[in-house]
């Protein structure tokens, strides 16, 4: 049907009548392109529409959704005043979507609650602010992740994408007595497990340059991604996996205000990923102020709204060593070695190189 060389003689199997479809344009929609069969996708032209930002959803609600719901629920503008803060609270606390369908349903529910109060003559007019939303709609239905408040050892902040938008996730790593086994939990898919194994192999093969004592690899390493009831998969958590592992093994803290994404290889290359806009917007919504992206994704920043780019510091990396220098607190990567700043008694800092094979250190004034 979609082959232009044959679509002028398509015969319907029900009527048995030939149809000329050469001038017909078929339009189909889908939320997840991976579920479209390959032979069908190969015959289609794909046009991608990204989800709305929170600022865009707020503008749509102000201009269209709120006036329409007031009319459908028999309310006059002088009877209800919905503040911008109230709409934003509905967006973040009661909806999780790339569009605005659920947002309109929740605004309609809010309008009906107010209409009932007015019809029962309990009130004549209602001013709806963020606190009033909780009273009218009940407790929030969505609980997005929030950025950590402090640096921690063995915990890195990653980013992920779903058809409903982007968000952050935490990769937690801890070591324990054992035989050097790698334990993976959190309902991880095969590709995500491969990313964890690649990060583990990189850490072991670059232990000296990363400042990781060799005896650490005789201990078991447990990698966990919270929200265990939700399946997770994809290669883009590689940098976060590597950061959390190196942080746990070396005892160095990971930066809490920075989130990261990127696929990694055994040689330490950082490869590009998809869904940059949604991931970054989700990170900003969670309170992240800096993000780390693969160098090959630099052009994708053009998709971000200007107001987001103005408030966000973006780093790029092609090599995992450079990425770790950004994601670990006080780290610097030079000449193939990861060095860390150490405080001296007089309050100044000395950059201490990673331990050498004989266990000694070399200090260089910083």
Structure confidence by residue, pLDDT tens digits, 197-210: 999 999 888 888 88
Place of tokens 């001038």: 23
DSSP SS3 for 194: helix
Question: What's the confidence (pLDDT) of residue 109?
Answer: 95
DSSP SS3 for 332: strand
- pLDDT digits 0-9 by tens, 4-33: 666 677 777 888 888 877 788 889 888 778
d(CA 283, CA 146): 9
d(CA 93, CA 102): 12
Q: Which residues are catalytic?
A: 236, 279
Using an 8 Å Cβ cutoff, are 188 and 228 in contact?
no
d(CA 31, CA 34): 9
Question: What's the confidence (pLDDT) of residue 361?
Answer: 47
Task: Tell which residue, 270, 280, 2, 245, has the closest CA to residue 167.
Answer: 280
Residue 116 predicted with pLDDT over 60: yes
Q: Which two tokens stand for residue 200?
A: 């583990």
DSSP state of 149: S
Q: Which two tokens stand for residue 61?
A: 């609600």
DSSP SS3 for 172: strand
Task: Tell which residue, 244, 237, 236, has the closest CA to residue 203.
Answer: 244
**Mean pLDDT in the chain?**
85
Helices 238-250/190-205 angle, 10° precision? 40
* pTM > 0.85: no
| The most confident of 188-192, 293-297, 329-333, by mean pLDDT | 293-297
Using an 8 Å Cβ cutoff, are 262 and 270 in contact?
yes
Domains in the chain, please, with CATH? 1-47 (no CATH), 54-137 (1.10.8.60), 152-365 (3.30.230.10)
**The residue count for the chain:** 366
Residue 237 predicted with pLDDT over 60: yes
Residue 223 predicted with pLDDT over 70: yes
Contacts of 22 (CB under 8 A, 6+ apart): 4, 7, 8
């Amino acid at each position: 049907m979609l082959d232009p060389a044959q679509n002028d003689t398509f015969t319907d199997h029900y009527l048995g009548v030939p149809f000329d479809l050469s001038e017909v344009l078929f339009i189909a929609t889908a939320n997840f392109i991976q579920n479209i069969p390959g032979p069908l996708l190969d015959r289609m032209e794909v046009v991608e529409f990204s989800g709305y930002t929170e600022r865009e959803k707020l503008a749509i609600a102000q201009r269209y959704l709120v006036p329409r719901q007031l009319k459908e629920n028999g309310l006059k503008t002088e009877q209800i005043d919905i503040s911008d803060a109230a709409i934003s609270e509905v967006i973040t606390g009661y909806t999780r979507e790339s569009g605005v369908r659920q947002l309109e349903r929740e605004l309609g529910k809010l309008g009906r609650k107010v209409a009932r109060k007015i019809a029962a003559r309990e009130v004549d007019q209602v001013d709806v602010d963020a606190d009033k939303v909780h009273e009218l709609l009940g407790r929030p239905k969505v609980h997005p992740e929030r950025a950590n408040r402090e640096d921690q050892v063995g915990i890195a902040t990653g980013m992920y994408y779903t058809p409903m938008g982007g968000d952050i996730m935490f990769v937690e790593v801890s070591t324990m007595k054992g035989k050097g086994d790698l334990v993976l939990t959190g309902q991880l898919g095969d590709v995500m497990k491969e990313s964890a194994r690649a990060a583990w192999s990189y850490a072991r093969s670059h232990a000296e340059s990363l400042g990781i004592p060799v005896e650490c690899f005789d201990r078991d390493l447990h990698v966990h991604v919270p929200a265990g009831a939700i399946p997770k998969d994809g290669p883009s958590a590689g940098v976060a996996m590597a950061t959390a592992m190196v942080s746990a093994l070396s005892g160095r803290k990971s930066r809490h205000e920075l989130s990261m994404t990127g696929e990694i290889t055994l040689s330490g290359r950082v490869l590009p990923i998809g869904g940059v806009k949604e991931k970054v917007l989700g990170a900003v919504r969670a309170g992240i102020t800096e993000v780390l992206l693969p160098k090959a994704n630099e052009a994708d920043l053009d998709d971000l709204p200007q107001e987001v780019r103005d408030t966000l510091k973006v780093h790029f990396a092609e090599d995992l060593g450079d990425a770790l220098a950004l994601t670990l607190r006080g780290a610097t990567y030079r000449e193939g070695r990861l060095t860390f700043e150490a405080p001296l008694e007089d309050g100044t800092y000395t950059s201490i190189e990673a331990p050498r094979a004989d266990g000694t250190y070399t200090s260089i004034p910083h």
